[in-house]
């Protein structure tokens, strides 16, 4: 894949999943090997874990909007700088 294609995939992920909370079809963007780093450790959470994470974030911040400011891509990596907005905190 090209660097531009890699950046396009990441952009689509933020637009189609992150900004909507729609986790249907998330498999197009991530794999069962998907991992997140927290508490200083890498945790493989896979597709179902990623779905749960996104749905939890969207429940907490229902009007979340992620705006891509800049992307840098090299080899097989893409770094994306985001601005977040509309962070209404729902708690209950």
pLDDT digits (tens, 9 = 90+) for 29-87: 999 999 999 999 999 999 999 999 999 999 999 999 999 999 999 998 999 999 999 87
Could you report the per-residue pLDDT of 1-25, keeping only the tens digit for each?
688 899 999 999 999 999 999 999 9
Which of these, 12, 21, 7, lies nearest to 86 by C-alpha position? Answer: 21
Question: What Cα–Cα distance (Å) separates residue 64 from each residue in 13, 35, 42, 57, 91?
Answer: 14, 22, 25, 9, 15
Whole-angstrom distance between the N-terminal and C-terminal Cα of the chain? 44
CB 85 within 8 A of CB 14: no
Find tokens 């999943």 and name the residue. 17
* Domain residue spans of the chain: 3-85
Determine the CATH number of domain 3-85.
3.10.450.50
Q: What is the pTM of this model?
A: 0.84
């Amino acid at each position: 894949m090209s660097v531009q294609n890699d950046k396009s995939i990441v952009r689509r992920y933020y637009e189609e999943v992150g900004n909507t909370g729609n986790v249907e079809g998330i498999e197009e963007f991530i794999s069962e090997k998907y991992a997140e780093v927290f508490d200083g450790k890498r945790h493989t959470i896979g597709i179902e874990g990623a779905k749960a994470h996104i749905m939890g974030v969207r429940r907490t911040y229902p009007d979340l909007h992620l705006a891509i400011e800049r992307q840098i891509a090299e080899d097989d990596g893409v770094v994306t700088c985001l601005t977040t907005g509309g962070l209404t905190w729902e708690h209950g």
